[in-house]
Amino acid sequence: MDQNWQTYRTLVNDHIAIFSANLAIFEQFSSEAAKLSKVVQFSIGYCADENGLPQAEEHQLLFRNILRALTNLSALSDTLYAGHIVSNGKAKLYFYTNDTDAFIQVLNGLGYTDDLDIQDDPNWDIYFDFLLPSPLESKMNATEEILDLLVRNGRDLADIFLVEHTFYFEDKENLLEFIESAELDDVSFNALKYTDEPVPVNDEEMLYMAKIEQELTLNNNEIFTLVEKFEHLAHQYFGEYVGWECDELEPNRGQLN
């Protein structure tokens, strides 16, 4: 089975959770060959650390068990592995299938029957609404990756970085209401720039753009707080918060006011 994993960290019931969703099955939802309407969930336990995640010596054992489960169960016809969640001492695995009897028979043979649950899910709500990351979760995960990359490149996160946040808007009125928002008064920034006319953002779209420039240290949670604030604020004005970069301005900054 093809696999293409999107892994991200978030909170579930106040516990740290690591989600892994299989993006390779995304197109299967609309496939006539799939039509998989039932989702099966079960758990594999592990020894957890103080954060509820696998202890160092447990990592390899846990993922050997996950690999054993997905290898055997994915061999069944009309069965797709949707992903898993690692949190609070358990890895919860999710499969879509039509042949639940054969699935449970194999599962019993593997000995993985903890928290076994079967639900009707013809629209794949669990996959799309629960396993796949939200736009905010994707940006939070990308922020962690950027910080990790900076550290691996020898950067000290206590240094001051020039950070640039980018926003897109279809309607100029929404853009102007956004830049005049009272909520931005609580944000410290060097400059807020925007385009007078729509600019190309990809091969198909012309949108208004805004950029906020800040000088920040990145060795605390401030950048995560800002990402969450800007995500909600852009949505409030029917725009899109694209994300942030540091240390280098966009080449098209000359188009901004």
Mean pLDDT value across residues 131-138: 91
Q: What percent of the chain has pLDDT over 70?
A: 93
Which of 4-13, 155-164, 178-187 has the highest average model confidence (pLDDT)? 155-164
Pick the CATH number of 5-131 from 3.90.320, 3.30.2020, 3.30.70, 3.30.160: 3.30.70
The residues of the chain that CATH labels 3.30.70.970 are 135-255
Mean pLDDT value across residues 109-134: 94
The pLDDT-based confidence of 252 (bands split at 50, 70, 90) is very low
The pLDDT-based confidence of 209 (bands split at 50, 70, 90) is very high
pLDDT given for residue 212 in this prediction: 95
pLDDT at 2 over 70: no
pLDDT at 184 over 90: no
Over the stretch 239-251, which tens digit does the pLDDT of each residue have? 999 999 986 434 4
Mean pLDDT, rounded, of the chain: 89
Give the torsion through C-alpha atoms of 122, 124, 126, 130, to 10 deg.
-150
Pick the CATH number of 135-255 from 3.50.30.30, 3.30.70.970, 3.30.930.10, 3.30.70.360: 3.30.70.970
The pLDDT-based confidence of 26 (bands split at 50, 70, 90) is confident
Over the stretch 59-107, which tens digit does the pLDDT of each residue have? 899 999 999 999 999 999 889 999 999 999 999 999 999 999 999 999 9
pLDDT at 112 over 70: yes
Residue-by-residue DSSP string for 12-34: ETTEEEEEEEEGGGGGGGG-TTT
Continuous H helices in 75-118: 100-110
> Are 250 and 150 spatial neighbours (Cβ–Cβ below 8 Å)?
no
Continuous H helices in the chain: 59-74, 100-110, 125, 135-152, 172-179, 222-236
pLDDT given for residue 33 in this prediction: 54
pLDDT given for residue 253 in this prediction: 42
